[in-house]
Structure 1
Amino acid sequence: MILDRLNTLSGADTRVERGISRRHFLQTGAAAGGGLLLGLHLPFATPEARAAGGNFAPNAFIGIDTNGQVILTMPYVEMGQGTYTSVPMLIAEELEVDLSQVQLEHAPPDESRYGNPALGGLQATGGSTTIRAAWEPMRQAGAAARTMLIAAAAKRWSVDPLSCRAEKGEVVDAATDRRAKYGDLAAEAALMSVPANVTLKRREDFKLIGTPAKRLDTPAKVNGTAVFGIDVRLPDLKIATLAQSPVFGGKLKNVDDTAAKAVKGVRQIVKLDDAVAVVADHMGAAKKGLAALVIEWDEGANAKLSTADVLHQLEEATLSEGPVAKNIGDVTKAMESAATKVEATYHVPFLAHATLEPMNCTVHVTGDGCDVWVGSQILARAQTVAAQVAGLPVEKVRVHNHLIGGGFGRRLEVDGVARAVQIAKQVEGPVKVVWTREEDIQHDMYRPFFFDRMSAGLDKDGMPVAWNHRFAGSSILKRWAPPLFANGLDPETVDGAVEPPYTLPNMRVEYLNVEPPGIPTAFWRSVGPSHNIFVVETFMDELAHAAKKDPVEYRLALLDAQPRAKAVVALAAEKAGWGSQLAQGMGRGVSVQTVFGSYMAQVAEVEVAKDGSIKVHRVVCAVDCGIAINPDTIQAQVQSAVMFGITAALYGEITVKDGRVEQSNFDTYQLLRMNEAPTVDVHIVQSGESPGGMGEPGTSAIVPAIGNAIFAATGKRLRKMPVDTSLLKAG
């Protein structure tokens, strides 16, 4: 849904999810200055430019040097999800080279060339779109390069190109077994015409796609040569850390920096409207200097704000009708004739991202330019905001992107870049601004708080005839991409609520946009579904209980119209041993979802101790994500997403008191620890469908599975996350 809205906004061809015409894709786009128009045109250079230096660069993504090294300019970023392996697999498959032959370079900020076609041409990595966006274009790019290399060899040998084939980085003449390495053909291939049509390999001929591949970025991460944003080292680099107003919307009133300036290594104190930074020779000195500051804040209008205020605001909002996001049939009439009625309310809290790599950005502002070194999910926007803050034209700002130590949506925001440029404007030479963990958690941009009212009507057999879902909360897109917020609705926020996989004859979903005072919200791994799947799948479990039916069988009966969803439920239940005996105090819970273009079901096995504490022992996941590019990456993505989601289910909660976030580090914002990690069994359905997204689905699916397992173990229904263990104590 969100992909359609983004592409509609930009004017892009929404056929990108199903594949685009090859001729359309391979156009040179001369009318657009040779640029990538909304992600649908490869930016081909002229033959003369392609042949410069004897190298072969048929488009903005692929270059082949005279040694045969394939250089992929990567338009997406790597933040642990495996992009830097799975996308090269698409290129290598069509180019007929070994994966190890592909070398990666970060793409510079340039939306005309490197825009994400699944996100309306924004140069962004997010929304589990990378493989969906790259699936057709990257194979087309590889096939185009392969075709031109074959044409160059055929011309050299004076043979028909149809008699030649590409194989292991060479072109082979089938009749004579003559061979020419790609590097030897690079200069000649650069002079070939770009093909108007290319032939992609048949899926049964894939050699790489669908096979386990070792991560290309692993060796550098293991030996320490990988460079993340926080690793940037420059001559004469200074380090800064900062304190921002502890109250949302507060301002800096006064600073006594006498003691801070006396700290050895402290070079400068930078004062901003709502923050103060200490610039020093190293982080230790910067932190000591920051601690020595005596700061007086003007706390402003939110000085008394609390979590209870936010909850009350949202709960009150849902007492009134809101804009309708989905309406099927007549819910009111169906409810009147229902044999049984079920009602429930749910709410989920603010959540922090808590990435392993805290927020950081290195900036050097000079008289006529600005350089930014950062790990960003949205590079062109980072360049734009840096230019605005620095007061420079965009072309005077150079952004150098790096590996990201965890994004989860946090680095789809550019507040950290803006803050670093504000500080760097007052510093001579380059400065790296590093947020402490406390600053990172207490000044995050949080997953929104939501409050939901659910009601359903069941017929005499216990099956749903009416489904009503009304909820209130913040809209991220209203701020992040205002044109997408139309008629009071945000397609990202209602994702997972408006398209459940079940057959529901009468259904109504309403969303009320209510913004919490001063508290910034942002994308968080699985975004709308992280909230909606919890509510939908927990409530579906409640309906099964009201109908006195098994939760798996109840779901299967409602999934006839969604065979892929039905298949993953059946598979997960089978592999989990659904219905088999468990030890006392243990329960199994199930969930199913169709989000991010993938189908997923999870079964969680959970133990509830007498003191109410929770232990997740095992998670069984069945996933149909279409063609599995790299099964190893898919398994790793599910495992990591499950761990992320278990944190949200058991511990994740940002609370506010007196306008301040109460959590400050991992002692008060606890993450799932190694000794708590369950076994995660992943079963991938073999599918010929186009790839779906895999970075986020596991996070949204696990939370209701855990809640439903707790109910199975205790008979106590939890309608709020994280789990309140005090409600589960025996006796």
Structure 2
Amino acid sequence: MSRAGKIARRSFLIGSAAIAGGVAFGIWRYRDTGPNPLLAELPEGGAALTPYVMIDGEGVTVIAPRAEMGQGVQSALAMLVAEELDLPWDQVKIDHGPPAVVYYNGAVVAEGLPFASTDQGILARNARAFGDVVSKFMSLQLTGGSSSMVDGFDKMRKAGAAARAVLIEAAAKQAGVPAKGLKTEGGAVVLPDGTRKPYTALAAACAGIAPPADPPLKPRQDWTLIGKPVQRRDMVAKCTGTARYGIDMALPGMVYATVRTSPRFGAGIKRLDTKKAEAARGVKMVVPVEDGFGVIADNTWRAFQAADLVEVEWEPAPYAADSAALFKQVAASFTEARRDSRFKDAGDVDTALAGADVVEAEYRIPFLAHAPLEPMNATVKLGKDRLDIWVGTQIPLQVVASAAALSGLSGDNIHVHVLPIGGSFGRRLEDDYIRQAVEVAQSVPGVPVKMTWQREEDMTHDFCRPLAMARGRGAVAGGKVTALDLGIAAPSVTASQMGRLGIPAAGPDTAIVAGAWDQPFAIPAYRVSGYRVPDMPPVSSWRSVGASGNGFFHESFLDELIHAAGADPLAERLRLVTDPASRAVLEAVGKMSGWGATLPKGKGRGLAFTLSFGVPAAEVVEVTDTPDGIRIDKVWVAAEVGAVIDPVNIEAQMTGGVVWGLGHAMGAEITFAGGEIEQTNFDSYPAMRLRQCPVIEAKALQTSDKLRGIGEPAVPPAAPALANAIFAATGKRIRQLPLNREVTFL
């Protein structure tokens, strides 16, 4: 062998060893669960059996490490543990727990991968598995993307089963009998002679017993909680007004603050005069924060009033100043230079359209605000070597990182107490308001500060759902849809949102085309292209993200093509659909609604289907065209969820998604003038009124073996189903949202 060959061979061997060592280390890091975060602050006599189960003399506490925003996630996660632990539901206590890597969300990355949920090929499966690895190494303890139950279904059941094994072993050792003959029921270990040892009496005996890594789980037929209707553990407090959210936080010696920053995103301060505010009653000080100022006072109202007295002139906006100009930028982005993706490209679209009478249409959707009922707020206390933050957030570990960067303290000295949230819809995936609260608290060390945004600050500083446009071209022949070419132009939610959090976002943004490119229809010539609009006002995740608008684009245009073909909307979708679960959903909603029945004059029904977050969902909306406007009479919605944890909560999430989708489609929009958001409160950003809410019938199917989340999938079909119903009742095809630009709603 030549010297060069020997060197090459030696380099290969050394390199291979290094790579193998790196892989081995990576595997070890991935499999290592890390320390149990509950051990740091255990109550006296308590035992943390796993990171998800803590027992003391007062009872069993289940750690449900996802943000509770009204969607019932913490009760659902706790049900999974209680099922395997044989713990009666009325004995369950629930806590969010501390921020910790062990609570990472391994399912959330999958939604951003360029693989349709119906793709079960080896590459897609491996990519999803790798997404779990990425989530862990990036410490993504995150609530969002309808992923909490997908991530937690096995994790939480294994946590309950592991805790049960520890309790059995502890009881066996305490009683001096073999563990094999013991069983559990009703929150106790039962010895062979019938003696019951309550879990609470075994806490001390559990010390030093390692939980099994992969305990056996109950078979589905033995479930006693999962799939049964139960009362959510937070229901009584919410119904009696005793629930405590972030905005209800109170600490001894607390002061109160509010913050103002430029309503022109990214613009700085030209001139600032705080003299009048500083002289106002109850004001303690006016302090600087990034791109703005904060006011500290002896109550929140006085802080609000003083903030209005600050004389400030802001720099101009670094983007087009009004909505018309912003939409022009969107329209100008339908170019090859701005093309971001083409994940769907089946058949020869150009040839199919060249020899046909082409159906063309353009659609648009506006910016939309999250507008949660509880405005942004956080309570912060900065000590000499400790920082405490009480807040409603969906990203607790990111909050720790941001607070560490601001305060100079290590993450170990930052304690985030995650509180129930009074609405989010994605808004609390941001940490801007928390960083501001930390900045304000730095001006009064040792004093707890409760920072609350005014409603107007909340509305005008929201990171909105992006505006977008779609251009569709299609063809039909022989009563069938034969070609569909859809281009969608929108700003990148991923790049905007992840950029603010300091997380790199590379490659095409699937959110631009989500809910359009991945639809399970076998149209012979079928293409969906995404076009990335240059930076404009910052945008963020909004309930169902890209699918929220793309469902309207795709299903409105598909409905136009079906009408042009002279086909039935349900029959043609059933002919085209390729996914069995999606077919079952379409069939179910058709049966529920009695699709095809003859309707009286002035009534119309619209059908829409969207596969999003792995969940096929279909809706039928029935409307009546009256002399005074459109009345929405009834909605039928069906979705495939794989397994129902709590049927009552599933129905609530599905009906809530319908109301959310319809209400925003009817009359909600965010517009810009002078670089600023024009809508400042609920009077100019209307939601669906109680009198407008239709009867809603919901059905959750369980035909597949893959559990899915249901917080968002009922949203995307709502707007197109309503628009299609209006067309059926009036003959008027509406291609822009909100719909009240062209019709009146009763």
| TM-score normalised per structure 2 | 0.87
CA distance in 2 between counterparts of 1:51 and 1:267 reads: 38
The 1:49/1:398 distance shift into structure 2, 3 A limit, reads closer
Deviation at residue 167 of structure 1 after TM alignment: 1.0
Identify which of 605, 630, 634 aligns with 2:650: 634
Matched position secondary structure for 2:590? helix
2:344, 2:518 within 8 Å by CA — same for their partners in 1?
A: no
CA distance in 2 between counterparts of 1:196 and 1:726 reads: 59
After alignment, is 162-171 or 202-211 more displaced? 162-171
1:4-48 CA distances to partner (integer Å, 9 max, x unpaired)? Answer: xxxxxxxxxxxxxxxxxxxxxxxxxx98999xx66x665576999
Match of 2:723 in 1: 707
CA distance in 2 between counterparts of 1:711 and 1:156 reads: 72
Is residue 674 of structure 2 the alignment partner of residue 658 of structure 1? Answer: yes
1:107-186 to 2 correspondences below 5 Å: 107-111=97-101, 113-119=102-108, 120-121=135-136, 122-173=140-191, 176-186=193-203
Gaps of 5+ in 1: 1-29
1:650-699 CA distances to partner (integer Å, 9 max, x unpaired)? Answer: 11210001111111111111111222211111112244523111111111
**1:507 partner letter:** Y
CA distance in 1 between counterparts of 2:643 and 2:589 reads: 19
Matched-pair identity in %: 37
The 1:176/1:405 distance shift into structure 2, 3 A limit, reads same
The 1:727/1:104 distance shift into structure 2, 3 A limit, reads closer
CA distance in 1 between counterparts of 2:250 and 2:570 reads: 54
1:253-306 CA distances to partner (integer Å, 9 max, x unpaired)? Answer: 22333332332212212234532322211122122212222222232544x611
The 1:674/1:185 distance shift into structure 2, 3 A limit, reads same
Match of 2:396 in 1: 379
Match of 1:90 in 2: 80
The 1:522/1:196 distance shift into structure 2, 3 A limit, reads closer
The 1:31/1:158 distance shift into structure 2, 3 A limit, reads farther
Deviation at residue 632 of structure 1 after TM alignment: 0.6
**2:606 partner letter:** G
Is residue 191 of structure 2 the alignment partner of residue 201 of structure 1? Answer: no
Identify which of 480, 493, 498 aligns with 2:517: 498
1:9-28 to 2 correspondences below 5 Å: none
Match of 1:439 in 2: 457
2:663, 2:688 within 8 Å by CA — same for their partners in 1?
A: yes
Matched position secondary structure for 1:310? helix
Match of 1:562 in 2: 579
CA distance in 2 between counterparts of 1:45 and 1:478 reads: 33
Match of 2:53 in 1: 62
Deviation at residue 711 of structure 1 after TM alignment: 0.7
CA distance in 1 between counterparts of 2:579 and 2:466 reads: 30
CA distance in 1 between counterparts of 2:464 and 2:663 reads: 15
Identify which of 404, 423, 430 aligns with 2:440: 423
**1:317 partner letter:** S
1:202-227 CA distances to partner (integer Å, 9 max, x unpaired)? Answer: 10111000000101011222334322
Match of 2:123 in 1: none
Is residue 687 of structure 2 the alignment partner of residue 671 of structure 1? Answer: yes
Is residue 713 of structure 2 the alignment partner of residue 722 of structure 1? Answer: no
Deviation at residue 633 of structure 1 after TM alignment: 0.6
Is residue 343 of structure 2 the alignment partner of residue 326 of structure 1? Answer: yes
CA distance in 1 between counterparts of 2:39 and 2:344 reads: 57
Deviation at residue 568 of structure 1 after TM alignment: 1.3
1:621, 1:681 within 8 Å by CA — same for their partners in 2?
A: yes
The 1:652/1:51 distance shift into structure 2, 3 A limit, reads closer
Deviation at residue 556 of structure 1 after TM alignment: 1.1
Is residue 64 of structure 2 the alignment partner of residue 74 of structure 1? Answer: yes
2:497, 2:539 within 8 Å by CA — same for their partners in 1?
A: no
1:411-467 CA distances to partner (integer Å, 9 max, x unpaired)? Answer: 000111112222222235222111111111111000011111112232x32323332
**1:104 partner letter:** I
Deviation at residue 160 of structure 1 after TM alignment: 4.4
CA distance in 1 between counterparts of 2:378 and 2:71 reads: 21
Match of 1:311 in 2: 327
1:334, 1:465 within 8 Å by CA — same for their partners in 2?
A: no
Is residue 410 of structure 2 the alignment partner of residue 393 of structure 1? Answer: yes
CA distance in 2 between counterparts of 1:77 and 1:338 reads: 53
After alignment, is 545-554 or 584-593 more displaced? 584-593
2:511, 2:546 within 8 Å by CA — same for their partners in 1?
A: yes
Is residue 641 of structure 2 the alignment partner of residue 614 of structure 1? Answer: no
The 1:448/1:48 distance shift into structure 2, 3 A limit, reads closer
Match of 2:548 in 1: 530
Deviation at residue 714 of structure 1 after TM alignment: 0.9
Is residue 600 of structure 2 the alignment partner of residue 572 of structure 1? Answer: no
Matched position secondary structure for 2:485? strand
After alignment, is 637-646 or 320-329 more displaced? 320-329
Matched position secondary structure for 1:323? strand
Gaps of 5+ in 2: 1-23, 109-134
CA distance in 2 between counterparts of 1:299 and 1:575 reads: 54
Match of 2:713 in 1: 697
The 1:47/1:229 distance shift into structure 2, 3 A limit, reads closer
**1:56 partner letter:** A
Matched position secondary structure for 2:197? strand
The 1:44/1:687 distance shift into structure 2, 3 A limit, reads farther
2:630, 2:744 within 8 Å by CA — same for their partners in 1?
A: no
| TM-score normalised per structure 1 | 0.89
CA distance in 1 between counterparts of 2:496 and 2:453 reads: 24
CA distance in 2 between counterparts of 1:327 and 1:46 reads: 44
Match of 2:313 in 1: 296
CA distance in 2 between counterparts of 1:537 and 1:705 reads: 8
1:334, 1:457 within 8 Å by CA — same for their partners in 2?
A: no
After alignment, is 696-705 or 364-373 more displaced? 364-373
Matched position secondary structure for 1:569? helix
**2:653 partner letter:** Q
1:653, 1:669 within 8 Å by CA — same for their partners in 2?
A: yes
Matched position secondary structure for 2:515? coil
Matched position secondary structure for 1:382? helix
Identify which of 473, 483, 488 aligns with 2:490: 473
The 1:503/1:259 distance shift into structure 2, 3 A limit, reads same
CA distance in 2 between counterparts of 1:47 and 1:501 reads: 44
